[in-house]
Every structure is written in structure tokens, then in C-alpha cells.
A and B are shown apart, each in its own frame.
Chain A
Amino acid sequence: MTTKRIARYGLLIALALILSYLESLLPVFVAVPGVKMGLPNIVIMFALYSLGTKDAVIISLIRVVLAGAMFGNVFAILYSAAGAVLSLLVMALLLKTKRFGPIGVSVAGGVAHNVGQIIVAILVTETAQIVFYLPVLCISGIAAGVLIGIVSGIVIERLKIEDKR
């Protein structure tokens, strides 16, 4: 692991954590748990496009653990780790097909995040009825995904990293 890579991880993880914190301050404006903007996903999208899948996974998982420890609890970590892993998997696959732009990748990631969270919520509480939240969560996830996709697209375009290693 080069010094450059360590510095880059540190910078991006710090940025993702600030966005997680900012998001935790935003008021819950819908009476459905789990509705979020997904601001940290801007950083993950940037890492995915500009650095690579492996780097995006590392940054995402460290962010989830640290953000959970600072602004949440063990359940928050479990909850968002499932969302983060599923969402990254889907985003990396869509990026590989080279058919989708940042908006498509981000929207699919947002919806996958919601699906992952719902699955964990069902397993933790052993209550299958939670699946009723999924349609509402998906629609909010799509809206948030489009916005995050637009912002990420602009950021990725403007911040070109020349040396990928």
C-alpha cells in the first residue's frame, strides 16, 4: 500500500464521514424509516469511477463502521453494511456493462441499498411485513439516486485523477 493510496483513502473516508454526519442532521421529512438522501454515495461513486471497485469497497466499509460507531449503534452498522455491500455490488456490475451513465449506476445503487436494509430489518426483527415499506423506499431511493447521480457525474468529470495507483 503506497503512501499516496493511504492519503487518498483518508481523504475520501473523511469526506464520506462528513457527509454521513451532515445527513444525520437533516430532519426526517417522511414518516418512513430508511428514507435518506445518500449523500456519502457521492464519495463512493467517485471512488468507483476514478479509483476502482476494490478501493470503493474498502472506503465504503470503513465509512459504514466509523459512521455507525460515531452517529449510530451496532444495529445501524449491520443495517447499513448490508445496504452498502449490495449497493456496491450492483453499481460495480452496472458500471462493468458500460451501458449506464452515473445516473443509472447511482439509481440502481440506491434501490439496492434499500433492498439490503429491508432484508436485514426482516431478519433482525423476524417480521416479514416490513416488506410493505419497500415500494415507498424504492421510489424515494430512485429520486435520491437520480440527484446523487447528477452530482456524482459532475464531480467525476471535474476531478480527474491521473495516477490511478
Chain B
Amino acid sequence: MKIRKADIVLVLVLLLVAAAAGIFMLAVRDTGGEAVVLRDGQEVLRLPLSEDAEEVITEGEDSNTVVIRDGTASVTQANCPDKVCVHTGEIRYEGQTIVCLPHKLVVKIEGGEEQSVDAVTQ
């Protein structure tokens, strides 16, 4: 099988663009203040990251457990089929999200502190 020059150029260009976009996004995001839970784009719950909390979000038979601990938000339990939201783990910076597509549920970090050194160098 032949590897063409165009293949190598394409891979390098795509890698560069992705890396640049990644660095840009890391640089612009802030550390967050609140975890907002949205269903279908509608806000259902707002939790400050500074206070530890545990909330079970239910809608019909759908349920997700959102936990705030040590300034991070995570979904620890869910009865959705793929558990992507649980595997996503902890989020803490503005713009980060946990998505549960089957339940149309999104947990996102909003507002809060100014951009800090940690957020940039992490």
C-alpha cells in the first residue's frame, strides 16, 4: 500500500489545526462557579461548586445522580443505556460539560471566578 505525500500533509495539517484549537480553548476557558443542569436545553437545577451536594435528577423513568464535591461536578449514577455521562468523570472549568444524550441531559459549568493561572497551565 502506498502512502502518498498528500496523506502526510493532510494528517499534519489536521493535527496542527486540532492542537491549535485545543490550546486556544484551554486558554479562553475560566474556572467555573456553578454547575447548571439542563434538560432539552431548559435549566432544571443550578448548584454552586463551592458547596458539596448530591442531587438525583429524575424525569419519568430517567434518572441521573449529580454530585458536587471539592469544587468539581460529576454524574455518579445513571440508568441510561450507555453510561457516557458517568464515564465522563469530573468537570470543573467553565464551558466543560457532561452530556447524557439518551436523557437529553447536560451538566455544564457556568460563570464564577476569573481565568486563573491553573486554568491555563493545567
Contact = CB atoms under 8 A, between A and B. Distances in A.
Interface of A: 28, 31-33, 72-73, 75-76, 79, 99-104, 107-108, 111, 121, 124-127, 129-130, 132-136, 138-139, 142, 146, 149-150, 153-154, 156-157
B1 A139 contact: no
A124 B2 contact: no
Interface in B71-122: 81-82, 84, 87-89, 95-97, 99, 101-102, 104, 106, 108
Tell me the interface secondary structure of chain A in the complex.
helix
Given A31-B89, A73-B81, A135-B25, A103 B11 contact: yes
Contacts of A31: 87-89
Nearest to B10: A104
Contacts of B60: none
B97 A104 contact: no
A77 B99 CA distance: 17
A117 B82 CA distance: 16
B40 interface: yes
A101 B99 contact: no
A150 B104 contact: no
8 closest A-B pairs by CB? A126-B41, A135-B22, A153-B1, A104-B7, A138-B18, A33-B84, A99-B6, A101-B4
Nearest to B95: A129
A141 B9 CA distance: 16
A100 B21 contact: no
A101 B3 contact: yes
Interface residues of B, number: 35
B45 interface: no
A100 B11 contact: no
Contacts of A99: 4, 6
Given A103-B3, A104-B11, A136 B99 contact: no
Contacts of A111: 14
A124 B106 CA distance: 10
Contacts of B19: 135, 139
Contacts of B41: 125-127
A72 B81 contact: yes
Interface string B2-37: 111011001100110111011001000100000000
Given A100-B6, A101-B3, A107 B88 contact: no
Given A101-B3, A124-B101, A133-B97, 6 more contacts: A33-B99, A75-B102, A124-B104, A127-B108, A129-B95, A139-B15
